[in-house]
Structure 1
Amino acid sequence: MGTTAAAAGGDFPLGGDLRVNRLGFGAMRLALGGSAPTPEAGVAVLRRAVELGVNHIDTAGFYGFGDLHAHELIREALSPYPDDLVIATKVGPLFTGGLSPAGQAGPDRLRALVEDDLRRLGRDRLDLVYLRVGGMGPAGGESIGERFAALAELRGEGLIRHLGVSNVDTVQLAEARSVAPVAAVQNHFHIHHAGDSAVLAACEREGIAYVPYFPLGGGGQRIDHARLTGVAARHRATTAQVALAWLLATSPVTLPIPGTGSLGHLTENVGAAGLRLTADDLAELSGGDPRVT
């Protein structure tokens, strides 16, 4: 596999000016319940991801447990950073111990979180910062305008290049866009959890990147790999590769960010960028579900 393997899935102008390969990498599994047993293993995975052409890495300051912390792994592995590398981070949830957030940061606390991300990643400006809304429950039900405005102020000061929102519905996306430009939405979405079509459609209309989190299942919604075996066999691919290729085929604005702490799984995931599903494949994968196209 060549060093531009991730480029086989095409690219996308994130925020209009940051061109990234559509198949990216999510750092959560390096630090929270993933398969990277040591910091050294996480560093090796990150370096190999960049060698394979990945230039969009998603992280968060709260991705950490014990001796493994995503921000510090990214800085150790990749700093000084390649010129084309885009690092996205998320702020909002507050953790006081454990793996579940104890609350959400108000507008007055977001500056400190952004400045902490800048320090830990060793950057003068963050490429993309998402306001992560709520916990692990469904999106919606709360206003986000005041908090998004606080991030927009930091963008105006030059600390952030682009803004995004995560775990939002169409109402919240519209509210955020009334405050400042939104470059990306990061929501829960995969081949068997595809009920977020309204937000995806809004992103398509407005040229906003749609970044599915848990692209290979998670958060209580798992992929039924048995339903993918026929397509996988025809392409001599794995079911995980089919699930990622489906995300790439679903919309030109989708930017999957599969994460792993395993070099083998990383190679498998990046290999999905070159998998082209046919119309018959997509029809079979839909299983009659109109949300799966």
Structure 2
Amino acid sequence: MTTPTTRNDHFDLGGDLRVSRMGFGAMRLPASTRGGAPNDRDTSLRVLRRAVELGADHIDTAAFYFHPSGPAANEMIRSALAPYPDGLVIATKVGPYRAPGDPYPSGQLPASGLRAEVERNLRELGRDSLDLVYLRPGGLETPLDEPIGERFEILAGLREEGLIRHLGLSHVSAAQLAEARTIAPVAAVQNRFDITQPADTEMLAICERDGIGYAPYFPLGGFGIPDDDRVKAVAARHGATVPQVLLAGLLALSPVMLAIPGTGSPAHLEENMAAADLALTAADLAELRA
């Protein structure tokens, strides 16, 4: 028995935005490593265009994805892909604050700043409306027990104005998801998850039950590929790479799982996108979950 994960496998975000479950994350377009040198802009533009050619119709970005001395992800997305092809879904996230010289976000925007951040994304991307906007209420170390209703209500208001089509949440708890859903529908959740760190299984189960997309950040483990003997063994059996098994394993885990691996490397892009066609067996999946 095999579990195919093909690039023709789709999910309907919010019930009406059909996307391939293998997408593309823009975080690594400005720089391949955290705090590292900026990537070559022309190479990053080629990566974006090639990602779309290979079937990535769901691009995840943010206005705070930029290099202090180099290009910003949103600017590159617009330069490479506008006028945007029909069916291309661009998701962004708001909440974290990052000053121009900061290597990464260092705080939270006040609630009153969320509208301006949405408008910044619209301006940088050259869009009249945004397909999907995630509220990210905290950083990696921020506790997940804070109420988010006031901030989510602001985004819900922008949705009513037509500036946003669908709303999502990033780095949140089940309680925060429940709170947000009393205000407006939630189309997707973006929490940390990879097959070697499946700690967010409760949230994934909620999303699967209720038809909410689950687009994990750090699908390849974060700032380094996990050194996991289980993944290496499965990769060796299939003549695949460890990143390919990590991505195929995610897609095989749930029909609501949306992979958004990011890279500034053309070679890594080809490798990642090929993972959508890797068929894992039931034995493979059992070994990965052991």
Q: TM-score, normalised by structure 1?
A: 0.92
Q: CA deviation at 1:102?
A: 2.9
Amino acid at match of 2:98: F
Tell me, yes or no, if the aligned pair for 1:164 and 1:182 is still in contact at 8 Å.
Answer: yes
Deviation, 1:73, is 0.4
Alpha-carbon distance in 2 for matches of 1:206, 1:281: 27
Structure 2, unaligned runs of 5 or more: none
Matches within 5 A, 1:108-187: 108-137=112-141, 140-187=144-191
Greater Cα shift, 135-144 or 192-201: 135-144
SS of equivalent to 1:64: coil
Q: What residue is the counterpart of 2:209 in the other structure?
A: 205
Give yes or no for the alignment of 1:278 onto 2:278: no
User: Paired residue for 2:105?
Assistant: 101
Cα separation, 1, equivalents of 2:23 and 2:72: 19
- How many residue pairs get matched? 281
Aligned counterparts of 2:257 and 2:133: Cα–Cα separation in 1: 18
CA distances 1:30-67 after superposition (whole Å, capped 9, x unpaired) = 11444973110110000000000110000000000121
| AA matched with 2:20 | N
Distance 1:44 1:84 in 2: 20
Instruction: Indicate conservation of the 8 Å contact 1:36/1:261, yes or no.
Output: no
CA drift of 1:136 comes to: 1.5
Higher relative contact order (CA 8 A, sep 6+): 2
Question: Match of 1:146, as an amino acid?
Answer: E
- Quote the offset at 1:239 in angstroms: 1.1
Query: Which residue of the partner structure matches residue 258 of structure 2?
Result: 255
TM-score, length of structure 2 as denominator length: 0.93
- Write the distance in 2 (CA, Å) between the matches of 1:112 and 1:266: 32
Match of 1:25 in 2: 24
Moved more, 16-25 or 210-219: 210-219
Is the 2:32–2:39 contact (alpha carbons within 8 Å) kept by the matching residues of 1?
no
2:262 partner SS = coil
Q: Which 10-residue stretch deviates more, 164-173 or 91-100? A: 91-100
Q: Does 1:86 align with 2:85?
A: no
* Partner in structure 2 of residue 229 of structure 1: 232
Q: Distance in 2 between matches of 1:21 and 1:247?
A: 14
Whether the 8 Å contact between 1:139 and 1:167 is mirrored in structure 2 is no
Q: 1:7 to 1:285 in 2, by over 3 A?
A: closer
Change beyond 3 A, Cα 1:132–1:173: same
SS in structure 2 opposite 1:19? Answer: strand
Q: Distance in 2 between matches of 1:154 and 1:286?
A: 41
* Cα distance between partner residues in 2 of 1:139 and 1:240: 30
Contact 1:191 1:246 in 2 (8 A): yes
Matching of residues 260-271 of structure 1 within 5 Å:
260-271=263-274
CA deviation string 1:82-136 (max 9, x = no partner): 0110000000001123223232122211100000100000000000000012111
Alpha-carbon distance in 1 for matches of 2:225, 2:140:
15
**Percent of paired sites with the same residue:** 60
The residue matched to 1:29 in structure 2 has which SS? coil
Q: Does 1:61 align with 2:48?
A: no
Q: Which amino acid aligns with 1:94?
A: Y
Shift of 1:222: 5.2
Gaps of 5+ in 1: 1-5, 288-293
RMSD over equivalenced CA pairs, Å: 1.6
Is 2:217 the counterpart of 1:218?
no
Q: Tell me, in whole angstroms, the C-alpha distance in 2 between the residues paired with 1:163 and 1:54.
A: 20
2:219/2:260 contact within 8 Å kept: yes
* AA partner of residue 239 (structure 2): R
Partner of 1:30, secondary structure, is coil
Deviates more, 1:104-113 or 1:136-145: 136-145
Q: Which residue of structure 2 lines up, in the alignment, with residue 291 of structure 1?
A: none
What secondary structure sits across from 2:91 in the alignment? Answer: strand
Shift of 1:284: 1.2
Deviation at 1:192, TM superposition (A): 1.2
